[in-house]
A and B are shown apart, each in its own frame.
Chain A
């Protein structure tokens, strides 16, 4: 089971530009490596990461094998409305991981 870490700064106010940092454990196997017997290790990567605030998409990323293992992605958000942030990682072989966080800028 994948583990995800999400960092949202505390004490944010309306109008602030907030940096949100995310990290998830995932091998991001490129499909180019071989194991000790010389057999190709099949590709297994995360293909998409998306973030929604109250069901409105605010950030999305398409990922390729060139993204390092345990993908770290950070982006910014203008703190205007409060609500729930939903982080979704999807990948090959039916991989899905969803995390939710409260987003509540002070007025």
Chain B
């Protein structure tokens, strides 16, 4: 193989690997979602995940999840789950809300094991699921020891 073939080959490999990785991520997320919440209606609306576009260090990344909801006794968000498919423990946490919370918005700092889409799943009091996510590029993963 000459230099040109190698360059073309590696470039096409780079283009090919990204959707493949995204595919396995989505599969992981979907299987987790169906074990946690089987057969509940889902929609991709109302959930805003705020993350920096790029994190130099995956050890502590600011995350905010906000869900559009009146947060009244007859219509409120009960739980918010955060899921990072490429982490060794992908489920990062679950937040329990109720009408006293007033607004469905939580912030925390998370660890990330690499470039990925961080998902948030909000479950309403009557069992509907609202999904949202944000992409992030992580220069230095949090779990380097684990990966090596």
Chain A residues in 8 Å Cβ range of B98:
57-59
Mask, B88-107, CB within 8 Å of A = 1, is: 11111111111111110111
A69–B103 CA distance with the chains assembled, in angstroms: 26
Interface-central residue, B98, B102, B143, B145, by most chain A CB under 10 Å? B102
**B17 on interface, CB distance cutoff 8 Å:** no
Of all chain B residues, the one with the shortest Cβ separation from A19 is B105
Q: Chain A nearest CB: distance from B12 CB in Å?
A: 34
Chain B interface helix/strand/loop/mixed: mixed
Other-chain residue from A32, A71, A72 in contact with B88 (beta carbon distance below 8 A): A32
Q: A32-B145, A77-B100, A78-B101 are in contact. Are A68 and B95 (CB under 8 A)?
A: no
**A73 on interface, CB distance cutoff 8 Å:** yes
Interface residues on B, range: 20 to 34
9 additional A-B residue pairs with CB within 8 Å, beyond A66-B91, A78-B101: A30-B146, A32-B146, A60-B96, A64-B92, A65-B89, A66-B112, A68-B111, A72-B109, A74-B106
Task: Count A-B contacts at CB 8 Å.
Answer: 105
A64–B105 CA distance with the chains assembled, in angstroms: 19
Count residues of A near B (Cβ-Cβ below 8 Å): 31
Chain A interface helix/strand/loop/mixed: strand
- Chain A residues proximal to chain B, CB less than 8 Å: 17-18, 21, 30, 32-34, 53, 56-69, 71-78, 80
> Contact at A68–B102, with CB atoms within 8 Å?
no
Q: Please, could you name 19 A-B residue pairs with CB atoms under 8 Å apart, sorted by A?
A: A32-B146, A33-B146, A60-B95, A61-B96, A65-B89, A66-B82, A66-B84, A66-B89, A66-B110, A66-B112, A67-B93, A69-B59, A72-B107, A72-B109, A74-B106, A75-B95, A75-B97, A75-B101, A77-B100
